[in-house]
Structure 1
Amino acid sequence: MDLLEKHQDILAKRAELLEEMGSRREQLNILRRQQDLQKIEDGLKGGKLPHPHLLALETRYWVSVEESIPAWDHFLLGKGPHPIDGPGQTARRDKQNPSIAQDQGLPPRPKPRAAR
Protein backbone atom coordinates (compact mmCIF):
# COMPACT_ATOMS: atom_id res chain seq x y z
CA MET A 1 0.00 0.00 0.00
CA ASP A 2 2.89 2.34 0.77
CA LEU A 3 4.33 1.84 -2.70
CA LEU A 4 0.94 2.55 -4.28
CA GLU A 5 0.61 5.82 -2.33
CA LYS A 6 4.15 6.87 -3.25
CA HIS A 7 3.40 6.07 -6.87
CA GLN A 8 0.22 8.20 -6.75
CA ASP A 9 2.20 11.07 -5.15
CA ILE A 10 4.87 10.84 -7.83
CA LEU A 11 2.24 10.89 -10.60
CA ALA A 12 0.53 13.91 -9.02
CA LYS A 13 3.82 15.80 -8.72
CA ARG A 14 4.68 14.86 -12.30
CA ALA A 15 1.34 16.24 -13.52
CA GLU A 16 1.94 19.49 -11.60
CA LEU A 17 5.43 19.87 -13.03
CA LEU A 18 4.22 19.20 -16.57
CA GLU A 19 1.54 21.86 -16.15
CA GLU A 20 4.09 24.37 -14.80
CA MET A 21 6.46 23.60 -17.66
CA GLY A 22 3.67 24.14 -20.17
CA SER A 23 2.72 27.51 -18.72
CA ARG A 24 6.37 28.61 -18.54
CA ARG A 25 6.89 27.54 -22.15
CA GLU A 26 3.88 29.58 -23.20
CA GLN A 27 5.17 32.61 -21.27
CA LEU A 28 8.58 32.27 -22.94
CA ASN A 29 6.97 32.02 -26.37
CA ILE A 30 4.96 35.18 -25.71
CA LEU A 31 8.09 36.98 -24.50
CA ARG A 32 10.05 35.89 -27.59
CA ARG A 33 7.27 37.07 -29.91
CA GLN A 34 7.17 40.43 -28.14
CA GLN A 35 10.94 40.78 -28.44
CA ASP A 36 10.83 39.89 -32.14
CA LEU A 37 8.08 42.42 -32.77
CA GLN A 38 10.05 45.05 -30.87
CA LYS A 39 13.13 44.35 -33.00
CA ILE A 40 11.05 44.68 -36.17
CA GLU A 41 9.50 47.93 -34.93
CA ASP A 42 12.90 49.35 -34.03
CA GLY A 43 14.23 48.38 -37.44
CA LEU A 44 11.34 50.11 -39.17
CA LYS A 45 11.70 53.25 -37.07
CA GLY A 46 15.41 53.46 -37.71
CA GLY A 47 15.07 52.88 -41.44
CA LYS A 48 16.38 55.49 -43.83
CA LEU A 49 14.02 57.48 -46.01
CA PRO A 50 14.26 56.85 -49.75
CA HIS A 51 16.21 59.25 -51.92
CA PRO A 52 14.30 62.52 -52.65
CA HIS A 53 14.32 61.81 -56.40
CA LEU A 54 12.68 58.46 -55.75
CA LEU A 55 10.05 60.08 -53.53
CA ALA A 56 9.30 62.66 -56.23
CA LEU A 57 9.00 59.93 -58.86
CA GLU A 58 6.68 57.91 -56.66
CA THR A 59 4.52 60.98 -56.00
CA ARG A 60 4.24 61.74 -59.73
CA TYR A 61 3.31 58.10 -60.40
CA TRP A 62 0.46 58.13 -57.89
CA VAL A 63 -0.79 61.48 -59.21
CA SER A 64 -0.95 60.00 -62.72
CA VAL A 65 -2.73 56.91 -61.42
CA GLU A 66 -5.33 59.06 -59.66
CA GLU A 67 -5.82 61.14 -62.81
CA SER A 68 -6.43 58.04 -64.93
CA ILE A 69 -8.96 56.47 -62.56
CA PRO A 70 -12.03 58.14 -64.16
CA ALA A 71 -11.11 56.84 -67.63
CA TRP A 72 -10.60 53.32 -66.31
CA ASP A 73 -13.85 53.46 -64.32
CA HIS A 74 -15.68 54.51 -67.47
CA PHE A 75 -14.12 51.64 -69.43
CA LEU A 76 -14.62 49.02 -66.72
CA LEU A 77 -18.29 49.95 -66.41
CA GLY A 78 -18.63 49.37 -70.18
CA LYS A 79 -19.39 53.01 -70.91
CA GLY A 80 -16.32 54.01 -72.87
CA PRO A 81 -13.30 52.94 -74.92
CA HIS A 82 -10.19 51.34 -73.50
CA PRO A 83 -8.06 54.13 -71.98
CA ILE A 84 -5.01 53.14 -74.05
CA ASP A 85 -6.90 53.46 -77.36
CA GLY A 86 -6.42 57.01 -78.61
CA PRO A 87 -9.03 59.04 -80.45
CA GLY A 88 -9.61 57.76 -83.97
CA GLN A 89 -8.14 54.34 -83.21
CA THR A 90 -10.24 51.27 -83.49
CA ALA A 91 -10.63 49.39 -80.26
CA ARG A 92 -8.16 46.58 -80.71
CA ARG A 93 -9.55 44.66 -77.80
CA ASP A 94 -13.06 44.47 -79.30
CA LYS A 95 -11.72 42.47 -82.28
CA GLN A 96 -10.13 39.84 -80.08
CA ASN A 97 -11.82 36.68 -78.97
CA PRO A 98 -13.37 37.51 -75.56
CA SER A 99 -11.96 34.37 -73.97
CA ILE A 100 -8.46 35.33 -75.09
CA ALA A 101 -8.85 38.85 -73.73
CA GLN A 102 -9.80 37.47 -70.34
CA ASP A 103 -6.89 35.04 -70.19
CA GLN A 104 -4.34 37.58 -71.40
CA GLY A 105 -1.12 37.09 -69.51
CA LEU A 106 -1.94 33.53 -68.50
CA PRO A 107 -0.46 30.42 -70.07
CA PRO A 108 -2.78 28.46 -72.34
CA ARG A 109 -4.96 25.87 -70.70
CA PRO A 110 -4.11 22.23 -71.40
CA LYS A 111 -6.30 20.50 -73.97
CA PRO A 112 -8.64 17.90 -72.52
CA ARG A 113 -7.49 14.33 -73.07
CA ALA A 114 -9.74 11.71 -74.53
CA ALA A 115 -10.86 9.01 -72.09
CA ARG A 116 -9.11 5.70 -72.61
Structure 2
Amino acid sequence: MTSYLYQEVELSKRHEEILDQRTALLQQMENLIEGQQKEKKNRTAVSEAAHDRNTALLKDLEAVEERLHARACILPHPNVVSIETQYWASVEEQIPQWEQFLGKAQSPQGRNQRAGKRFQKCTPQDKQKTKSSDLPPSRSSSKSVSRSPTPRAKLRG
Protein backbone atom coordinates (compact mmCIF):
# COMPACT_ATOMS: atom_id res chain seq x y z
CA MET A 1 0.00 0.00 0.00
CA THR A 2 2.79 2.36 0.74
CA SER A 3 4.11 1.68 -2.71
CA TYR A 4 0.80 2.79 -4.18
CA LEU A 5 0.81 5.86 -2.03
CA TYR A 6 4.41 6.58 -3.03
CA GLN A 7 3.51 6.16 -6.75
CA GLU A 8 0.48 8.41 -6.29
CA VAL A 9 2.66 11.14 -4.75
CA GLU A 10 5.24 10.77 -7.52
CA LEU A 11 2.57 10.97 -10.22
CA SER A 12 1.04 13.98 -8.51
CA LYS A 13 4.46 15.72 -8.46
CA ARG A 14 5.04 14.79 -12.08
CA HIS A 15 1.57 16.12 -12.95
CA GLU A 16 2.39 19.45 -11.21
CA GLU A 17 5.68 19.72 -13.13
CA ILE A 18 3.90 19.10 -16.43
CA LEU A 19 1.26 21.73 -15.58
CA ASP A 20 4.01 24.21 -14.65
CA GLN A 21 5.82 23.52 -17.94
CA ARG A 22 2.54 23.94 -19.82
CA THR A 23 1.89 27.27 -18.08
CA ALA A 24 5.44 28.44 -18.86
CA LEU A 25 5.09 27.43 -22.52
CA LEU A 26 1.71 29.16 -22.80
CA GLN A 27 3.23 32.32 -21.29
CA GLN A 28 6.13 32.16 -23.76
CA MET A 29 3.69 31.74 -26.65
CA GLU A 30 1.64 34.74 -25.47
CA ASN A 31 4.80 36.84 -25.16
CA LEU A 32 5.94 35.74 -28.62
CA ILE A 33 2.56 36.60 -30.15
CA GLU A 34 2.51 40.00 -28.42
CA GLY A 35 6.05 40.68 -29.69
CA GLN A 36 5.05 39.74 -33.22
CA GLN A 37 2.00 41.99 -33.04
CA LYS A 38 4.10 44.91 -31.76
CA GLU A 39 6.65 44.30 -34.51
CA LYS A 40 3.89 44.20 -37.11
CA LYS A 41 2.44 47.50 -35.81
CA ASN A 42 5.92 49.02 -35.87
CA ARG A 43 6.53 47.86 -39.46
CA THR A 44 3.12 49.20 -40.46
CA ALA A 45 3.89 52.58 -38.90
CA VAL A 46 7.30 52.70 -40.61
CA SER A 47 5.72 51.72 -43.93
CA GLU A 48 3.05 54.41 -43.63
CA ALA A 49 5.67 57.01 -42.73
CA ALA A 50 7.75 55.99 -45.76
CA HIS A 51 4.65 56.16 -47.96
CA ASP A 52 3.82 59.64 -46.67
CA ARG A 53 7.43 60.75 -47.19
CA ASN A 54 7.47 59.34 -50.74
CA THR A 55 4.17 61.06 -51.54
CA ALA A 56 5.54 64.38 -50.27
CA LEU A 57 8.74 63.93 -52.32
CA LEU A 58 6.71 63.10 -55.41
CA LYS A 59 4.62 66.24 -54.97
CA ASP A 60 7.80 68.30 -54.49
CA LEU A 61 9.32 66.82 -57.64
CA GLU A 62 6.17 67.55 -59.63
CA ALA A 63 6.20 71.15 -58.37
CA VAL A 64 9.86 71.55 -59.35
CA GLU A 65 9.15 70.02 -62.75
CA GLU A 66 6.29 72.48 -63.32
CA ARG A 67 8.50 75.42 -62.30
CA LEU A 68 11.30 74.28 -64.63
CA HIS A 69 8.86 73.80 -67.47
CA ALA A 70 7.36 77.24 -66.84
CA ARG A 71 10.86 78.70 -66.80
CA ALA A 72 11.56 77.10 -70.18
CA CYS A 73 8.55 78.91 -71.65
CA ILE A 74 9.65 82.35 -70.47
CA LEU A 75 11.51 84.65 -72.82
CA PRO A 76 15.25 84.06 -72.71
CA HIS A 77 17.65 86.60 -71.29
CA PRO A 78 18.44 89.50 -73.68
CA ASN A 79 22.07 88.34 -73.91
CA VAL A 80 20.90 84.93 -75.09
CA VAL A 81 18.62 86.56 -77.68
CA SER A 82 21.53 88.70 -78.88
CA ILE A 83 23.87 85.72 -79.16
CA GLU A 84 21.22 83.70 -80.97
CA THR A 85 20.60 86.54 -83.42
CA GLN A 86 24.33 86.82 -84.09
CA TYR A 87 24.53 83.05 -84.58
CA TRP A 88 21.74 83.02 -87.16
CA ALA A 89 23.25 86.05 -88.91
CA SER A 90 26.57 84.23 -89.23
CA VAL A 91 24.76 81.13 -90.47
CA GLU A 92 23.01 83.19 -93.14
CA GLU A 93 26.36 84.66 -94.17
CA GLN A 94 27.85 81.20 -94.53
CA ILE A 95 24.96 79.67 -96.51
CA PRO A 96 26.21 80.74 -99.98
CA GLN A 97 29.67 79.32 -99.29
CA TRP A 98 28.18 76.03 -98.10
CA GLU A 99 25.82 75.89 -101.07
CA GLN A 100 28.78 76.26 -103.41
CA PHE A 101 30.75 73.67 -101.47
CA LEU A 102 27.91 71.15 -101.35
CA GLY A 103 26.51 71.97 -104.77
CA LYS A 104 23.01 72.46 -103.46
CA ALA A 105 20.83 75.51 -103.67
CA GLN A 106 18.60 74.84 -100.69
CA SER A 107 17.84 77.55 -98.21
CA PRO A 108 16.75 76.90 -94.65
CA GLN A 109 12.97 76.60 -94.78
CA GLY A 110 10.92 78.39 -92.19
CA ARG A 111 13.84 80.05 -90.42
CA ASN A 112 12.01 83.35 -90.11
CA GLN A 113 8.96 81.52 -88.80
CA ARG A 114 11.10 79.82 -86.15
CA ALA A 115 12.30 83.14 -84.78
CA GLY A 116 8.72 84.25 -84.25
CA LYS A 117 7.76 80.99 -82.56
CA ARG A 118 10.74 81.01 -80.22
CA PHE A 119 9.66 84.07 -78.32
CA GLN A 120 5.95 83.39 -77.89
CA LYS A 121 4.42 82.32 -74.61
CA CYS A 122 4.12 78.53 -74.33
CA THR A 123 0.73 76.93 -74.12
CA PRO A 124 0.09 73.40 -72.86
CA GLN A 125 -0.40 72.29 -76.47
CA ASP A 126 2.95 73.82 -77.45
CA LYS A 127 4.69 71.91 -74.70
CA GLN A 128 3.50 68.63 -76.18
CA LYS A 129 4.00 69.60 -79.83
CA THR A 130 7.64 70.69 -79.49
CA LYS A 131 9.64 69.04 -82.23
CA SER A 132 13.35 68.95 -82.82
CA SER A 133 12.77 70.76 -86.13
CA ASP A 134 11.55 73.82 -84.19
CA LEU A 135 14.81 74.07 -82.29
CA PRO A 136 18.13 75.50 -83.46
CA PRO A 137 20.89 72.97 -84.13
CA SER A 138 22.59 71.60 -81.04
CA ARG A 139 26.26 72.12 -80.30
CA SER A 140 26.98 68.43 -80.85
CA SER A 141 25.69 68.62 -84.45
CA SER A 142 28.11 71.45 -85.36
CA LYS A 143 31.43 69.98 -84.39
CA SER A 144 33.76 72.34 -86.23
CA VAL A 145 32.36 75.84 -86.37
CA SER A 146 34.84 78.47 -87.48
CA ARG A 147 34.66 81.40 -85.15
CA SER A 148 35.92 84.86 -85.78
CA PRO A 149 38.18 86.20 -83.05
CA THR A 150 36.27 87.90 -80.30
CA PRO A 151 37.06 91.49 -79.31
CA ARG A 152 38.91 90.12 -76.27
CA ALA A 153 41.10 87.93 -78.45
CA LYS A 154 41.90 90.94 -80.63
CA LEU A 155 42.92 92.90 -77.56
CA ARG A 156 45.21 90.13 -76.35
CA GLY A 157 46.90 89.51 -79.69
Q: TM-score w.r.t. structure 1 length? A: 0.46
Higher helix share: 2
Largest Rg, 1 or 2: 2
Q: TM-score w.r.t. structure 2 length? A: 0.36
